[in-house]
Every structure is written in structure tokens, then in C-alpha cells.
């Protein structure tokens, strides 16, 4: 059993959300089964999932050490086909074109089915990674949202990972560009400089003068009917930055379920079957890169939009032509 004294700092939140954070490796089905079996109690009394924790409450979660150990077990690696586009690969680096709908890393809702795990399976199958040696585990140098597609860079050794992380942190010698389709007609170009803060409970981000500095540049590439196709570059790398910034200037990203136009999203899903945000990391450029990745200096890697996105653009252009 796990017993936790609720402090003032973590009070005033739903008990199920708190339990999910405590058992962050457990599947959601297991956590809600605990509530159904009345294995979650507060002050020795069973509570429902919507109970609001109070300061000085004593939370009891009836879970065994064996169950906790089982959740913490890494997924066994298997030699399998890698189904995603590999844009570049050598002994130091792997650049993958991530499809929309898959996490880069695991989170509270999904631990196993991630791009990182698929990359490890791929490298294991090639004989380039063996977890039994306890050596370096290849890892992504940055993240994309689950529903953002595009380029993700994985490092195969520690020095390469540290180099890439430093590049993404400083931003001076690396530039990453996105394509976004947004509602309405934007100016030809612009810069959005608005601080952002994240609500740890809901996972949503909002413009907040007391938040972290965030800067987004955009250039309008094309007007398509009632929409604008933008090329976007972020100077900072805040959570949901592009999505929130574009929403804040009344040009939300098409298909964005969290910050977009709900009615518009429903319409595009019904008419064209497009059901996620139109945001793709399509290009990454390097300038002066230190060793061991110095050979990347001056190089650019780019991918095309996926077929689903291209089809949506074609459909919207055809609709516009019919109205002309």
C-alpha cells in the first residue's frame, strides 16, 4: 500500500488526477480499476474519482510492490520493420519523419507505443543497440506534440545527444521550420512575442504576461479560400507554442482539438476526413555545428507534407476554384 499525506501545495485537485501522477507508469485502465474496487481511500474511507483532495488528507492507494515493479519493466525489444520514413542516418544520428498521432516519448496516458520505442526496436534489429550492455540508450534530442508530424532527431551516442540538445537550446546554429494551415487570412508575415504559461492540471497553455517568454515568426505562403498556409519558425521552444500563439492572433490552426475552432474542425472532418491539427515540422537547417556532428554544418533536411495534408489542400483549392 502507498500512503501519502496531502500537503497544501498539492491539495484542491481531483484524486484520480493525483493518483495518475503517483502511478505514472500504470495504464489508465488499471488506475480506474483501483477506484472501482475501492482500493483508493482518503482518511480510510473509499472515495469516488471526483473527490477533491484537501490539505492534511491521508491518501491510501492499495497497490502491491509486485504491481509497481511490473509497471516499471521496460518493454522487451523485438526485431521488427521500421515503418516510418528515415530522412537521414549514420553512426551518430537518425532523422525520422514522425506521422501525426504518435508520441515521441511516453506520457501519463501512453508508455509503450512511442516513436522512441520504435526507434530502439529498429536499432536493436540492426545490432546497433543492446540494452543488456547497459550502455547509452539512443534518444530524441527534442519533442513534437503527439498530433504534430514531421522531423525528429535521434542521437545514437551521448556526445551527439549533448551537441543536439545544446543546438536546440541556443537556437543560433539550428533552425526548424513548420508548415501550418490556419483559419482566416493572416498578414504576409509577422512575429508573435507573448509570454506563455502552462496549467499543470489541464495540460493547456495560455498567453500570460507572467509566463515564460515565447517568440514565433511566420510568413504567409499562400491564401487558400478562407485559410492561410504559413511557414513558421519558433525562436523559443515552449509547450504548444505555435498552436497557442496563432490562436492568440485569431488564426487558430486547422484541426487543432485543443486551441482550434471546434465547429470548423468538425466541418473539415465531415467533408474531408481531416481530424487532427495541420502542423508539420518540415525542415531543419544547420549552420556551425561542433564535433562530433560538424559534418552537418551548412546542411538542410526537409520532408514533404504527408498525403492527408496534401489532399486537404487540394480539396480546399478545388473548392475555391469552383467559387471563382
Q: Which domains does the chain have, with CATH numbers?
A: 2-71 (3.10.290.10), 75-169 (3.30.2350.10), 171-324 (3.30.2350.10)
What does the angle CA 171 – CA 174 – CA 175 come to, to the nearest 5 degrees?
A: 90
Q: What are phi and psi of 297, to 5 degrees?
A: -55, 130
Q: Please tell me the pTM assigned to this model.
A: 0.77
For residue 108, the model assigns a pLDDT of 46
Q: What was the pLDDT predicted at 110?
A: 44
pLDDT tens by residue, the chain, 324 residues: 889 999 887 888 889 888 887 887 777 788 888 999 999 999 999 999 989 999 999 999 998 888 777 766 666 677 777 899 999 999 999 999 999 999 997 654 444 578 998 999 999 999 898 887 767 889 999 989 899 999 999 999 999 999 999 999 888 899 999 999 999 999 999 999 999 998 877 778 999 999 999 999 999 999 999 999 999 999 988 989 999 999 999 999 999 999 999 999 999 999 999 989 999 999 999 999 999 999 999 999 999 999 999 999 999 998 876 665
Phi, psi angles (nearest 5°) of residue 316: -70, -35
Largest CA distance in the chain: 70
Minimal CA–CA distance to 123: which of 151, 92, 98? 92
Closest CA relative to residue 247, chosen from 236, 256, 238? 256
Query: Could you tell me which of 105, 84, 106, 81 has the C-alpha nearest to residue 95?
Result: 84
Rounded to whole angstroms, the Cα distance separating 172 from 287 reads 8
Say if CB 241 and CB 280 are below 8 A apart: no
* Torsion angles phi and psi, residue 28, rounded to 5: -60, -35
Determine what percent of the chain falls in helix, strand and coil, rounding each to the nearest 5.
30, 30, 45
User: How many residues are present in the chain?
Assistant: 324
Catalytic residue (choose from 39, 50, 130, 145)? 145
Q: What angle do CA 25, 115, 107 make, to 5 degrees?
A: 25
The pLDDT score that the predictor gives to residue 58 is: 94
Based on the number of CB atoms within 10 Å of its own CB, is 1 exposed (0-12), middle (13-18) or buried (19 or more)? exposed
Question: Does 72 qualify as catalytic in the annotation?
Answer: no
d(C-alpha 309, C-alpha 186), whole Å: 20
Amino acid at each position: 500500500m502507498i500512503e501519502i499525506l496531502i500537503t497544501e501545495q498539492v491539495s484542491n485537485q481531483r484524486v484520480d488526477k493525483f493518483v495518475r501522477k503517483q502511478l505514472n507508469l500504470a495504464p489508465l485502465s488499471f488506475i480506474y480499476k483501483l477506484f472501482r474496487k475501492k482500493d483508493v481511500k482518503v482518511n480510510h474511507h473509499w472515495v469516488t474519482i471526483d473527490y477533491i483532495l484537501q490539505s492534511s488528507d491521508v491518501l491510501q492507494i492499495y497497490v502491491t510492490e509486485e504491481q509497481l515493479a511490473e509497471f516499471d519493466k521496460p518493454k522487451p525489444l523485438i526485431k521488427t520493420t521500421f515503418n516510418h520514413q528515415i530522412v537521414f542516418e549514420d553512426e551518430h544520428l537518425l532523422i525520422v519523419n514522425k506521422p501525426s498521432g504518435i508520441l515521441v516519448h511516453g506520457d501519463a496516458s501512453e508508455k509503450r507505443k512511442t516513436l522512441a520505442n520504435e526507434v530502439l526496436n529498429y536499432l536493436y534489429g540492426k545490432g546497433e543497440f543492446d540494452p543488456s550492455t547497459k550502455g547509452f540508450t539512443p534518444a530524441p534530442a527534442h519533442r513534437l506534440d503527439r498530433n504534430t508530424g514531421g522531423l525528429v532527431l535521434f542521437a545514437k551516442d551521448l556526445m551527439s545527444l549533448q551537441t543536439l540538445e545544446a543546438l536546440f537550446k541556443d537556437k543560433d546554429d539550428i533552425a526548424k521550420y513548420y508548415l501550418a494551415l490556419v483559419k482566416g487570412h493572416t498578414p504576409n508575415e509577422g512575429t508573435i512575442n507573448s509570454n506563455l504559461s502552462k496549467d499543470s492540471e489541464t495540460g493547456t497553455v495560455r498567453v500570460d504576461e507572467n509566463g515564460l517568454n515565447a517568440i514565433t515568426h511566420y510568413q504567409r505562403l499562400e491564401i487558400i479560400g478562407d485559410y492561410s498556409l504559413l511557414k513558421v519558425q519558433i525562436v523559443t521552444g515552449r509547450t504548444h507554442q505555435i498552436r497557442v500563439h496563432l490562436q492568440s492572433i485569431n488564426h487558430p490552426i486547422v484541426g487543432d482539438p485543443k486551441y482550434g475552432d471546434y465547429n470548423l474542425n468538425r466541418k473539415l472532418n465531415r467533408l474531408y476526413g481531416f481530424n487532427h491539427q495541420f502542423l508539420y515540422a518540415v525542415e531543419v537547417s544547420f549552420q556551425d555545428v561542433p564535433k562530433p556532428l560538424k559534418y552537418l554544418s551548412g546542411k538542410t533536411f526537409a520532408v514533404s507534407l504527408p498525403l492527408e495534408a496534401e489532399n486537404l489542400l487540394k480539396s480546399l483549392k478545388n473548392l475555391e476554384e469552383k467559387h471563382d
